[in-house]
Amino acid sequence: MLPRQMVTVLAPAKLNLSLDVVGLLPGGYHALDMVMQAITLYERVTIRRSEGLSLRMPGSRVPANDKNTAIKAALAFFHYTGLLAGAEMVIEKRVPVRAGMAGGSADAAAVLVGLNALYGANLSMSELCALGAGIGADVPFALMGGSCRVQGLGDLLKPLPPCPDCWFTVVMPDYGISTPEAFAAYDRVGSTVHPDCAAQEAAIRAGDLAALAAAAGNALEECSGAKATPAIRQELLAHGALCALMTGSGAAVLGLFREEDKARQAAQALQSRWPQVYLARPDRGGARLVFPSGPKSGSFLV
């Protein structure tokens, strides 16, 4: 059999159904407790064999330089495996930037999965997650996907059963949030919001969407500086969301809906004020290869 010459990988964005800051770790890093959910909004990464290493992101303003997570992932892969090879990478960006939805981490996860398949390295999920953790805190989850309780720096993952059937309306304002700045603000002012992540895990295990929504919350929301969050949350709730909260360090805000029609109506209503609105469902996987008969990369952009 001839070796693969090209692979295509889909990597889902993530949402935080809950996020709490529970302490400090050595080095000044924040200890987190979160419930993360992969959704049907994907980065699409195509990788071809090459003697050098290159990255293109058509239509994206994200710099394609050595600080990009995709380049970091490729360098980490080749260093770990010892392969004297390269890759030509093309990323179709679908996930908004500085949104708290782990688009950059999804890119890194896609590169690790893609190179592993392209060069037949046969690295295990544990090895890929270890490589990913050195690139970014959300990369291990981007590899695992599905529903997870995530703790520590983001490196302690507990896979959960699939999230109860639901819909997400995700609204991205016309600005992004810097993660370091959001945590620095938290250190200055703290938060009155501390979600019960254990209760949310139990709700997912029980398939109880109402209890999942009741336990939702984000300890970074009050201090993030995302000025549009309260208005977006209010509108999502007014349109029937079971809960609405900022995801990650922001600036995107999600509304959790039981019914598709309410989620779609909310998306259409909010799009008149905030053009970047996405309709998505829970995704049960992480970064994975796409085959000709596999899923498309559509993001349900409203």
288 in a structural domain: no
- Token code pair at residue 114: 């893609």
Both 202 and 269 in one domain: the answer is yes
Task: Tell me what the pLDDT averaged over the chain comes to.
Answer: 94
Q: Which pLDDT tens digit goes with each residue over 232-272?
A: 999 999 999 999 999 999 999 999 999 999 999 999 999 99
Q: Does one domain contain both 149 and 195?
A: no
Question: Are both 151 and 176 inside the same structural domain?
Answer: no
Which of 13-22, 151-160, 286-295 has the lowest average pLDDT? 286-295
Same domain, 140 and 182: no
Residue 97 belongs to domain with CATH number: 3.30.230.10
Asked whether residue 84 falls in the same domain as residue 213, the answer is: no
Alpha helix (H) ranges present in the chain?
69-81, 103-118, 125-133, 139-144, 179-189, 197-206, 209-214, 229-238, 260-270
Same domain, yes or no: 146 and 176: no
Place of tokens 């609204």: 171
- Number of compact structural domains in the chain: 2
Q: Do 228 and 150 have their domain in common?
A: no
22 and 33 in contact (C-beta within 8 Å)? Answer: yes
Packed helices 103-118 and 69-81: angle between N→C axes, nearest 10 degrees: 30
Q: Which tokens belong to 32?
A: 């987190």
210 in a structural domain: yes
The answer to whether residue 196 is domain-embedded is yes
pLDDT tens digits along 40-79: 999 999 999 999 999 999 999 999 999 999 999 999 999 9
> Do 101 and 115 belong to one domain?
yes
* pTM for this prediction: 0.95
End-to-end, the C-alpha distance of the chain in Å comes to 43
On whether both 104 and 198 belong to a single domain, the answer is: no
Residues 31 and 130 in one domain: yes
Phi, psi torsion values for 286, nearest 5 degrees: -115, -150
SS3 for 11? Answer: strand
The domain boundary residue, chosen from 132, 161, 190: 161
| Co-location of 85 and 126 in the same domain | yes
Cβ contacts of 266-272, under 8 Å, gap ≥ 24: 266/169, 266/235, 266/236, 266/239, 266/240, 266/241, 267/169, 267/302, 268/302, 269/235, 269/239, 270/169, 270/171, 270/232, 270/235, 270/236, 270/239, 271/302
Residues in the chain: 302
Of 117, 142, 161, the residue at which a domain comes to its end is 161
State percent of the chain over pLDDT 90.
Answer: 88
Q: Looking at residue 211, which CATH number applies to its domain? A: 3.30.70.890
> In the block, which residue shows the tokens 């993001």?
299
Residue 229 in domain: yes
Quickly list DSSP for 72-120.
Answer: HHHHHHHHHH----EEEEEEE--SPTTSSS-HHHHHHHHHHHHHHHHTT
Provide the domain limits for residue 273.
167-280
Q: Which of 284, 281, 280 is nearest to 161 (CA)?
A: 284
Using CA atoms, how far residue 235 sits from 175, 216, 232, in Å, is 19, 17, 5
pLDDT at 25 over 80: yes
Task: Clarify whether residues 14 and 154 are in a common domain.
Answer: yes
Hey, how many other C-beta atoms are within 10 angstroms of the C-beta on 276?
16
Tokens representing residue 194 in the block: 């501390």
Within-domain flag for 40: yes
Cis peptide before 266 (omega within 30 of 0): no
Residue 292 lies in a domain: no
| Residue 300 located in a structural domain | no
Greatest distance between any 2 Cα atoms in the chain: 60
Active site residues: 14, 138
Residue 141 carries which side chain, given as an amino acid letter? F
In a domain, 301, yes or no: no
Rounded to 10 degrees, the C-alpha dihedral 119/125/130/131 comes to: 20
Write out pLDDT tens, residues 142-188. 999 999 999 998 889 999 999 999 999 999 999 999 989 999 999 99
Examine the fold and report which residue of 106, 131, 161 is the final residue of a domain before the chain moves on: 161
Q: Which residues contact 17 (CB under 8 A, 6 or more apart)?
A: 35, 36, 37, 163, 200, 212, 216, 256
Mean pLDDT of 101-111: 98
